[in-house]
């Protein structure tokens, strides 16, 4: 069963996800692309803002589907969850990267594939750890209080 999450918790989840990703990606991209940290930091921040909004909308929709279909978040489901999330981001972020870096869509797509290679496993691991810790710190104490 999918947990009921408040808007406040969804915002916390999304911001934590993006903060950790930003701290990893901005300096890494600046180094790999030989660009100033500030330039790549702004691009990464723009990506983060788009991804944060998408994260909140996508996960709310995914939770709704999970409640309706009553499936368990097994590893294959988590991989599908992360893959669909990232596919949505590709559609939104490739044009943004092309514009910001003044490159073609193909070059921006290749950059996005590189980011995908990081974010796909990061998304799976982050959400698995988050759900596990949430279960220990939020759901179990709630269940104990209800008894």
User: Among 63, 64, 48, which Cα is nearest to 15's?
Assistant: 48
Strand, helix or coil for residue 147 = coil
Q: Give CA separation, 2 vs 25, 134, 139, in Å.
A: 30, 12, 11
147 domain-assigned: no
Is 144 a domain residue?
A: no
> Residue 76 falls within a domain, yes or no?
yes
Q: What is the pLDDT of residues 36-83, one digit of tens each?
A: 999 999 999 999 899 888 988 999 999 999 999 999 989 999 999 988
Phi, psi at 112, each rounded to 5°: -65, -35
pLDDT band at 141, cuts 50/70/90? low
Which distant-in-sequence residues (6+ apart) come within 8 Å of 134 by Cβ?
3
Is 146 part of a structural domain of the chain?
Answer: no
> Is 2 a member of any domain?
no
Whether the model clears a pTM of 0.85, i.e. scores above it, the answer is no
Per-residue pLDDT tens over the stretch 92-135: 999 999 999 999 999 999 988 888 889 889 989 999 999 999 88
Q: What is the DSSP letter of 5?
A: -
> Helix and strand tally (H, E) in the chain?
5, 0
The boundaries of the domain holding residue 85 are: 7-139
What's the number of domains the chain is made of? 1
Q: Does any domain span residue 114?
A: yes
């Amino acid at each position: 069963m999918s947990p009921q999450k408040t808007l406040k918790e969804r915002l916390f989840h999304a911001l934590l996800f993006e903060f950790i990703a930003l701290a990893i990606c901005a300096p890494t991209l600046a180094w790999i692309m030989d660009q100033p940290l500030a330039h790549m930091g702004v691009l990464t921040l723009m990506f983060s803002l788009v991804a944060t909004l998408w994260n909140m909308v996508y996960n709310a929709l995914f939770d709704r589907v999970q409640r309706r279909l009553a499936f368990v978040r097994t590893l294959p489901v988590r991989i599908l969850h992360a893959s669909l999330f990232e596919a949505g981001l590709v559609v939104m972020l490739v044009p943004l990267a092309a514009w910001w870096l003044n490159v073609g869509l193909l070059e921006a797509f290749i950059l996005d594939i590189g980011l995908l290679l990081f974010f796909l496993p990061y998304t799976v691991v982050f959400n698995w750890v988050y759900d596990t810790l949430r279960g220990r710190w939020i759901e179990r104490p709630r269940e104990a209080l209800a008894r």
